[in-house]
């Protein structure tokens, strides 16, 4: 292959050279080039090694269907390890490298694999390495492999956009443009997306409505929102189309790739068709290309890919390529599988045509130096009619309509023998198909079908009685009378290697093996041979592979069917899918009003239930266990200060508030007096404990709920659902006011001294345990609740969130020692206070926690009540919440440690530890756990199994400190 | 992506909504319901293939629960309705 740039022609700007490197070598292209066209213009032949046999491969196509030219491309900070060179626009400073071949694509030590090809057919790796695959996989992947992603963060910005339009047109070819033109004439909003930087009419030539096609195209899209470099890759329910827009030119800090979610009332699919190669022996050499690609490199980029071209075709369209090549000065030879090409032969005066012929062999190292032309029924490779010197073989086996999006939308496909292709059948969404997708095969018919589709889309949106605007059908010169395509799937030479799927190295023989081993369904064929499973998704190979299988099994192609088309149509960058949802924005954490104050105290901040909260406040050179022990001891002996602002606060108001909450909570809450609090459980309807918390009655018709921090949203949602769907007549409303308040708990023996220095009109002396009062704190509206999660006398002070930092600093200045969640967790464990989700799981009922008193006292129904009376709920051997004291007081077993003992002659696990800690108050290790029939086993000894270590512990009451509760009430 | 007609806000994207499954009638008085009937209410659903009536919540919008008829196979949406002041399953 001796590609070269012509001195004129194409859409490239010869005044603007663009420097780039290939394998470290400096080359030059022009503005308007793709990376592929620039490589071809520089005479580059081999761009990679094949996946399995490590055979040299060259650029095969010019668009999204490219199977071979998958390259590692770097531009500045932007790196794409698997870029399709045909879609990459050339940029100054671009560095492109092959992703396969070692030490280089020219010399590949694994080339030897190709000599062994007879021994590595389809399924070889599965069959051979199945036992111990995990040992072989790394080496096999290294040999095959695609590009290697960098582990450094991608500096580019990606974003997601949403659009709603009346009509979305997918495809910017003649049909798409005609559809957009027809639709926009009806004054509806129209969006047109196309994956290319410039549409095909810009370079294809031709005359439409008496003007150059390129000018007509500009006119057609007036008033249409056009998104170029934008690939529609998924067609989802309700006419939602996902589009990826590549923005290679975006300046730093602006969005690179963009993911669009487009909701359209009507969709026009004008996705075109992809040329399908003819299959012949050794058809994978660099220099074998699609005929349409050869034409496009010439017309769009001014690149003549070879001086001597053999064209092998079964249809008329390749003659256009031949004519263009002849005009550019190339020598052209045509092998046409049809007995007589018909009138189209007149286009290629000067080219030798071999009718009823195909290519039966190719030769040459690292490319092609000759092609053997022989009869279509040749069964031996020496039956050649002529050996033609050439550097390019351009192949055309007909066209495969790009039915991917149509199929994804739920549309059915039908095999059309005339077109020799799967065409769209019945659709399921508000959609229209046009152009080559619908089987149109020349410019005039594409324009006609596009026009009709655009008008139909607009008509579907038009109010009844309104008339369509007058608009003439765009006209183009009709093509000469066509000679029908002749299906021809491969050359019947036994033993010849004929490739179907270049990217995954699948040959006709592999399909034969699949057929022989009874993997004959198309879905089995695909998975057994990997046909069409590479990143090109078989765009050029699927139909050929299906046809071979159909032929081998005596079925029609339509009967054999096609595999399912799934998104994405083309690879989508992960960055675009993630958009802004990564790093700190992936799941943003909520911060406390006094966040800065905690940071100033060098608090270790961790995530707890979606909040960023202080775990503890380490002093200089203090390790976490010592910090926690110090903080916990301070609370028991002096006074502690805890930021509880994240605890939920849901206000419930209305005349039916009391009655409604009584239907929700496990505990009786309707008889709660204003100004009092109650500790409550909330159950699911299945009886499982969903949350615990405190309910405060502020007034007759007003409650304040405090669910746990991470359950607040869930509790609010549950209340709303029960109210709206089960008790809609009750007059009650809910409001989450968590973010409005800063709440700090001050607790410990010295709490009185601290609060004496807090200016408030609330009388602490008369506030009982589990009481709440409103008033002013430091001159601002506030509340004080006397409630404890530590077992010490404790007051929660709440002020509007904005005053949180000031109140925190004030309390700190009075000598209260800050403590974090980890320390609180030790304090609450010493008191046997449960943490929902830690000490409980998805099976825990209130009775399991030893809280059956409220059930007996409560007379009305509530959520989950009936489930507490089922046989399962009443089993005597349910796991129950108890304490465990390890015999070794210095040993803290891990959470999850199982406790076992002999039961009825069998030693088995009775449950596990849910919380464990070193307890400063008792000076020893303590555990909480769920043990089968645990309350009846208090005093018994169990074996603990902690990561291989066996020790013993004694089951006990879960309250380790101040069991009488004197400290709370004193 | 489904386009879901909220009876209060009009058609909106699926991501704003939360699915609530089949509307079920809570058997009352619960204390007089047999274990078997209670288990059916808790766990058994028809799981209709085809046109079905479902509960949805416009969680990312007005927060209201409503019922919607939808084909669970084709995802075609037919109509949605506000919940009346009566009980949902009734």
Say how many C-beta atoms besides its own lie within 10 A of residue B82's C-beta: 14
Question: Does residue A466 lie within any of the structural domains?
Answer: no
Question: Does residue A838 lie within any of the structural domains?
Answer: no
Q: Do B59 and A866 touch (CB under 8 A)?
A: no
Q: Do A726 and B20 touch (CB under 8 A)?
A: no
**pLDDT tens string A738-777:** 999 999 999 999 999 999 999 999 999 999 999 999 999 9
Q: Find chain B residues with C-beta within 8 A of A724's C-beta.
A: 64-65, 83
Question: Does residue B58 lie within any of the structural domains?
Answer: yes
pLDDT bracket for residue A141 (50, 70, 90): low
Q: Which whole number is the average pLDDT over A524-530?
A: 92
The Cα A616–Cα A546 span in angstroms is 65
Q: Which whole number is the average pLDDT over A596-613?
A: 96
Q: Which whole number is the average pLDDT over A236-241?
A: 96
3-state secondary structure of A800: strand
What is the DSSP annotation of A156-168? -EEEEEEEEEEEE
Q: Do A865 and B83 touch (CB under 8 A)?
A: no
What is the DSSP annotation of A725-766? HT-TTS--EEEE-GGGEEEEEEESTTHHHHHTTS-BSS-STT
Question: What's residue B86's pLDDT?
Answer: 56
Together in a domain, A641 and A778: yes
Chain B contact for A82, CB < 8 A? no
Question: Min CA distance, A237 vs chain B (Å)?
Answer: 5
Question: CA nearest A735 in B: which residue?
Answer: B63
Kindly state the tokens that stand for A237: 């329910």
Question: Does residue B50 lie within any of the structural domains?
Answer: yes
Question: Does residue A182 lie within any of the structural domains?
Answer: yes
Q: Is the pLDDT of residue A908 over 70?
A: yes
Instruction: Work out how many CB contacts closer than 8 A connect A with B.
Output: 64
Chain B contact for A410, CB < 8 A? yes
Question: What's residue B89's pLDDT?
Answer: 44
Of A790, A723, A782, A789, nearest to A755 by C-alpha is: A782
Question: Does residue B11 lie within any of the structural domains?
Answer: yes
A733-747 burial by CB neighbour count: b if 16+ within 10 A, else e?
ebebebeebbbbbbb
Which of A259-263, A555-559, A639-643, A797-801 has the least mean pLDDT?
Answer: A555-559
Question: Does residue B65 lie within any of the structural domains?
Answer: yes
Residue among A162, A685, A726 minimizing CB distance to B42: A685
Measured CA distances, A77 to A24, A303, A400 (Å): 17, 30, 37
- Please state, rounded to an integer, the average pLDDT across all residues of chain B: 91
Contacts of A601 (CB under 8 A, 6+ apart): A614, A617, A818
Together in a domain, A3 and A114: yes
Instruction: Rank A111-125, A569-583, A641-655 by mean pLDDT and report only the highest.
Output: A641-655
Question: Does residue B46 lie within any of the structural domains?
Answer: yes
Chain A contact for B75, CB < 8 A? yes
Q: Find chain B residues with C-beta within 8 A of A721's C-beta.
A: 20, 57, 65
Q: Cβ-count burial of A778 within 10 angstroms (0-12 exposed, 13-18 middle, 19+ buried)?
A: middle
The Cα A77–Cα A100 span in angstroms is 22
Site from B16, B26, B63 to mutate, A interface, most A CB atoms within 10 angstroms: B26
Q: Is A123 left (phi over 0), alpha (psi -120 to 50) or beta?
A: left
Return the CATH number at A233: 3.50.50.60
Q: Which whole number is the average pLDDT over A547-568?
A: 91
Measured CA distances, A366 to A104, A504, A656, A960, B79 (Å): 13, 19, 85, 81, 64
Q: Is the pLDDT of residue A735 over 90?
A: yes
Question: What's residue A684's pLDDT?
Answer: 97
Question: Min CA distance, B26 vs chain A (Å)?
Answer: 8
A854-858 own/partner pairs: CB under 8 Å, 24+ apart? A854/A666, A854/A667, A854/A668, A854/A681, A855/A666, A857/A668, A858/A662, A858/A666, A858/A667, A858/A668
Q: Is the Cβ–Cβ distance between A642 and A695 less than 8 Å?
A: no
Q: Is the pLDDT of residue A478 over 80?
A: no
Question: What's residue A888's pLDDT?
Answer: 97
Counting the structural domains of chain A, the total is 7
The Cα A131–Cα A524 span in angstroms is 22
Q: Find chain A residues with C-beta within 8 A of B55's C-beta.
A: 725
Kindly state the tokens that stand for A691: 């949350």
Question: Does residue A855 lie within any of the structural domains?
Answer: no
Q: Find chain A residues with C-beta within 8 A of B87's C-beta.
A: 726, 728
Chain B contact for A685, CB < 8 A? yes
Question: Does residue A575 lie within any of the structural domains?
Answer: no
**pLDDT tens string A11-36:** 999 999 999 999 999 999 999 999 99
Residue among B39, B74, B87 minimizing CB distance to A726: B87
Together in a domain, A660 and A522: no
pLDDT bracket for residue A970 (50, 70, 90): low
The helix (run of H) or strand (run of E) holding residue A15 is: strand A13-22
The Cα A581–Cα A573 span in angstroms is 14
Question: Does residue A278 lie within any of the structural domains?
Answer: no
DSSP conformational letter for A414:
E
Together in a domain, A141 and A34: yes
Structural domain boundaries enclosing A17:
1-151
Question: What's residue A150's pLDDT?
Answer: 85
pLDDT bracket for residue A612 (50, 70, 90): very high
**pLDDT tens string A158-176:** 999 999 999 999 999 999 9
Of residues A136 and A568, the one with the higher pLDDT is A568
Q: Is the Cβ–Cβ distance between A885 and A924 less than 8 Å?
A: yes
Residue among A720, A724, A726 minimizing CB distance to B26: A726
Chain A contact for B26, CB < 8 A? yes
The Cα A510–Cα A294 span in angstroms is 29
Q: Which whole number is the average pLDDT over A870-893?
A: 96
Q: Do B31 and A861 touch (CB under 8 A)?
A: yes
Of A682, A679, A689, A738, nearest to A712 by C-alpha is: A738
Return the CATH number at A899: 2.40.30.110
Q: What angle do CA A660, A663, A666 make, to 5 degrees?
A: 130
Return the CATH number at A133: 3.10.20.440
Site from B12, B75, B86 to mutate, A interface, most A CB atoms within 10 angstroms: B75
The Cα A476–Cα A482 span in angstroms is 16
What is the DSSP annotation of A805-874? HHHHHHHHHTTPEE--HHHHHHHHHHHT---TTTT--TT--GGGGT--HHHHH--S--TTTGGGGSTTTT
Question: Min CA distance, A421 vs chain B (Å)?
Answer: 27
Q: Is the Cβ–Cβ distance between A520 and A291 less than 8 Å?
A: no
Q: Find chain A residues with C-beta within 8 A of B64's C-beta.
A: 724
Counting the structural domains of chain B, the total is 1
Q: Is the pLDDT of residue A473 over 50?
A: yes
The Cα A296–Cα A291 span in angstroms is 9
Question: Does residue B67 lie within any of the structural domains?
Answer: yes
Question: What's residue A573's pLDDT?
Answer: 86
**pLDDT tens string A191-204:** 999 999 999 999 98
Together in a domain, A660 and A612: no
Q: Is A530 left (phi over 0), alpha (psi -120 to 50) or beta?
A: left
Kindly state the tokens that stand for A567: 């998104």
Measured CA distances, A579 to A251, A253, A255, A876 (Å): 17, 13, 9, 53
Together in a domain, A22 and A118: yes
Question: Does residue A841 lie within any of the structural domains?
Answer: no
Q: What number of CA atoms fall less than 13 Å from residue A199's CA on the CB side?
A: 27
Question: CA nearest B63 in A: which residue?
Answer: A720
Together in a domain, A39 and A133: yes
**pLDDT tens string A94-127:** 999 998 766 676 666 666 677 777 777 777 776 7
Question: Does residue A570 lie within any of the structural domains?
Answer: no
- Please state, rounded to an integer, the average pLDDT across all residues of chain A: 93
Question: Does residue B34 lie within any of the structural domains?
Answer: yes
Question: What's residue A102's pLDDT?
Answer: 63
Q: Do A428 and B74 touch (CB under 8 A)?
A: yes
**Which residue, A397, A421, A450, sits at the end of a domain?**
A397
Chain A contact for B20, CB < 8 A? yes
The Cα A156–Cα A238 span in angstroms is 32
Chain B contact for A872, CB < 8 A? no
Together in a domain, A411 and A437: yes
Q: Is the pLDDT of residue A76 over 90?
A: no
pLDDT bracket for residue A700 (50, 70, 90): very high
Return the CATH number at A680: 3.30.70.1400
pLDDT bracket for residue B72 (50, 70, 90): very high
Together in a domain, A380 and A512: no
Measured CA distances, A68 to A32, A49, A59 (Å): 22, 8, 6
Structural domain boundaries enclosing B63:
3-82
**pLDDT tens string A850-863:** 998 888 889 899 99
Q: Locate tokens 């465990």: which residue?
A: A884
Chain B contact for A859, CB < 8 A? no
Q: Do A871 and B3 touch (CB under 8 A)?
A: no
pLDDT bracket for residue A646 (50, 70, 90): very high
Q: Which whole number is the average pLDDT over B27-34?
A: 94
Question: What's residue A107's pLDDT?
Answer: 65
Return the CATH number at B39: 3.30.2270.10
Question: What's residue A491's pLDDT?
Answer: 95
Of residues A1 and A514, the one with the higher pLDDT is A514
Contacts of A181 (CB under 8 A, 6+ apart): A219, A220, A221, A224, A451, A454, A471, A474
Site from A650, A724, A875 to mutate, B interface, most B CB atoms within 10 angstroms: A724
Question: What's residue A98's pLDDT?
Answer: 92
Question: What's residue B90's pLDDT?
Answer: 39
The Cα A238–Cα A264 span in angstroms is 8
Q: Is the Cβ–Cβ distance between A683 and A666 less than 8 Å?
A: yes
Q: HEC string of A458-525?
A: HHHHCCCCCCCCCCCCCCECCCCCCCCCCCCCCCCCCCCCCEEECCCCEEHHHHHHHHHCCCCCHHHH
Return the percentage of chain A with pLDDT > 90, whole number.
83
Together in a domain, A316 and A369: yes
The Cα A199–Cα A203 span in angstroms is 8
Together in a domain, A107 and A11: yes
Together in a domain, A107 and A177: no
Residue among A261, A865, A870 minimizing CB distance to B1: A261
């Amino acid at each position: 292959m001796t590609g070269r740039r012509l001195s004129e022609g194409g859409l490239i700007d010869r005044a603007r050279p663009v420097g780039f490197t290939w394998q470290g070598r400096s080359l030059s292209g022009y503005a308007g080039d793709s990376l592929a066209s620039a490589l071809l213009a520089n005479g580059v032949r081999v761009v990679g090694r094949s996946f399995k046999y490590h055979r040299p491969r060259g650029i095969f196509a010019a668009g999204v269907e490219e199977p071979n030219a998958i390259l590692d491309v770097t531009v500045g900070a932007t790196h794409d390890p698997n870029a399709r060179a045909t879609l990459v626009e050339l940029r100054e400073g671009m560095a492109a490298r092959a992703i396969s071949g070692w030490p280089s694509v020219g010399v590949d030590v694994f080339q030897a694999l190709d000599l062994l090809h007879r021994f590595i057919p389809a399924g070889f790796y599965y069959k051979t390495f199945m036992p111990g695959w995990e040992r072989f996989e790394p080496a096999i992947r290294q040999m095959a492999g695609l590009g290697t992603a960098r582990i450094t963060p991608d500096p580019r910005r990606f974003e997601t956009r949403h659009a709603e339009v009346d009509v979305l047109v997918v495809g910017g070819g003649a049909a798409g443009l005609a559809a957009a033109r027809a639709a926009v004439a009806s004054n509806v909003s129209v969006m047109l997306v196309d994956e290319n930087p410039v549409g095909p009419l810009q370079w294809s030539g031709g005359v439409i409505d008496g003007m150059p096609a390129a000018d007509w195209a500009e006119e057609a899209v007036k008033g249409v929102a056009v998104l170029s470099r934008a690939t529609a890759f998924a067609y989802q329910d309700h006419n939602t189309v996902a589009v990826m827009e590549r923005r290679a030119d975006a300046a730093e800090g602006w969005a690179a790739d963009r993911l669009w979610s487009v909701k359209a009332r009507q969709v026009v699919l004008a996705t075109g068709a992809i040329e399908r190669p003819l299959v012949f022996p050794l058809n994978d050499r660099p220099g074998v290309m699609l005929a349409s690609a050869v034409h496009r490199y010439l017309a769009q980029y001014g690149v003549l890919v070879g001086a001597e071209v053999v064209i092998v075709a079964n249809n008329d369209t390749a003659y256009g390529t031949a004519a263009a090549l002849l005009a550019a000065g190339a020598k052209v030879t045509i092998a046409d599988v049809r007995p007589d090409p018909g009138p189209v032969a007149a286009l290629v005066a000067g080219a030798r045509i071999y009718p009823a012929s195909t290519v039966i062999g190719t030769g040459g190292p690292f490319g092609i130096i000759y092609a053997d032309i022989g009869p279509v029924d040749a069964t031996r490779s020496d039956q050649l009619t002529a050996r033609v010197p050439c550097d390019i073989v351009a192949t055309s086996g007909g066209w495969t309509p790009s039915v991917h999006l149509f199929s994804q939308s739920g549309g059915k496909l039908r095999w059309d023998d005339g077109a020799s292709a799967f065409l769209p059948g019945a659709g399921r969404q508000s959609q229209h198909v046009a152009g080559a997708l619908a089987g149109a095969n020349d410019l005039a018919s594409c324009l006609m079908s596009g026009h009709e589709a655009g008008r139909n889309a607009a008509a579907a949106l038009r109010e009844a009685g309104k008339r369509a605007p007058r608009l003439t059908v765009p006209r183009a010169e009709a093509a000469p009378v066509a000679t029908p395509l002749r299906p021809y799937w491969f050359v019947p030479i036994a033993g010849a290697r004929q490739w179907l799927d270049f990217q995954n190295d699948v040959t006709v023989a592999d399909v034969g093996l699949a057929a022989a081993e009874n993997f004959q369904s198309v879905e089995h064929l695909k998975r057994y041979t990997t046909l069409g499973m590479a990143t090109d998704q078989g765009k050029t190979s699927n139909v050929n592979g299906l046809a071979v299988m159909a032929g081998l099994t005596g079925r029609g192609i339509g009967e054999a069917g096609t595999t399912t088309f799934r998104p994405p149509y083309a690879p989508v960058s992960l960055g675009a899918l993630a958009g802004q949802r990564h790093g700190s924005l992936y799941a943003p954490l909520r911060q406390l009003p006094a966040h800065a104050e905690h940071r100033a105290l060098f608090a270790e901040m961790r995530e707890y239930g979606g909040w960023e909260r202080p775990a503890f406040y380490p002093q200089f050179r203090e390790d976490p266990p010592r910090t926690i022990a110090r903080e916990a001891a301070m609370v028991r002996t002096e006074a502690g200060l805890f930021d509880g602002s994240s605890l939920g606060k849901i206000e419930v108001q209305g005349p039916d508030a009391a009655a409604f909450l009584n239907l929700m909570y496990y505990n009786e809450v309707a008889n709660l007096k204003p100004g009092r609090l109650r500790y409550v459980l909330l159950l699911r309807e299945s009886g499982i404990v969903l949350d615990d918390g405190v309910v405060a009655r502020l007034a007759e018709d007003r409650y304040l709920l405090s669910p746990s921090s991470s359950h607040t949203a869930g509790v609010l949602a549950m209340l709303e659902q029960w109210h709206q769907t089960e008790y809609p007549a009750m007059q009650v409303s809910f409001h989450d006011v968590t973010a409005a308040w800063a709440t700090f708990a001050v607790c410990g023996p010295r709490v009185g001294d601290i609060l004496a220095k807090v200016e408030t009109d609330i009388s602490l002396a008369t506030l009982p345990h589990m009481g709440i009062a409103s008033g002013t704190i430091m001159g601002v509206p506030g509340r004080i609740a006397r409630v404890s999660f530590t077992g010490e006398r404790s007051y929660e002070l709440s002020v509007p969130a904005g005053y949180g930092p000031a109140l925190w600093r004030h309390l700190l200045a009075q000598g209260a020692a800050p403590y974090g969640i980890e320390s609180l967790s030790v304090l609450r464990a010493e008191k046997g206070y449960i943490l929902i989700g830690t000490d409980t799981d998805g099976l825990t009922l209130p009775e399991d926690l030893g809280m059956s008193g409220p059930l007996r006292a409560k007379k009305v129904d509530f959520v989950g009540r009936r489930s507490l009376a089922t046989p399962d709920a009443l089993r005597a051997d349910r796991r129950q919440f108890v304490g465990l004291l390890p015999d070794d007081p210095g040993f803290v077993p891990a959470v999850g440690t199982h406790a076992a003992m002999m039961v009825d002659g069998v030693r088995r696990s009775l449950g596990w530890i849910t919380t464990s800690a070193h307890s400063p108050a008792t000076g020893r290790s303590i555990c909480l756990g769920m043990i089968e029939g645990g309350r009846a086993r208090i005093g018994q000894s169990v074996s603990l199994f902690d990561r291989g270590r066996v020790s013993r512990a004694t089951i006990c009451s879960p309250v380790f400190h101040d069991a009488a509760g004197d400290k709370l009430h004193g | 992506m489904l386009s879901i007609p909220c009876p209060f806000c009009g058609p909106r994207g699926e991501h704003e909504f939360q699915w609530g499954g089949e509307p079920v009638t809570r058997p009352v008085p619960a204390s007089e319901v047999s274990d078997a009937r209670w288990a059916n209410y808790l766990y058994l659903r028809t799981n209709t293939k085809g046109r079905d009536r479902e509960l949805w919540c416009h969680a990312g919008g007005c927060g209201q629960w409503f019922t919607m008829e939808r084909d669970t196979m084709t995802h075609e949406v037919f109509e949605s309705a506000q919940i009346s002041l009566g009980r949902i399953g009734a």
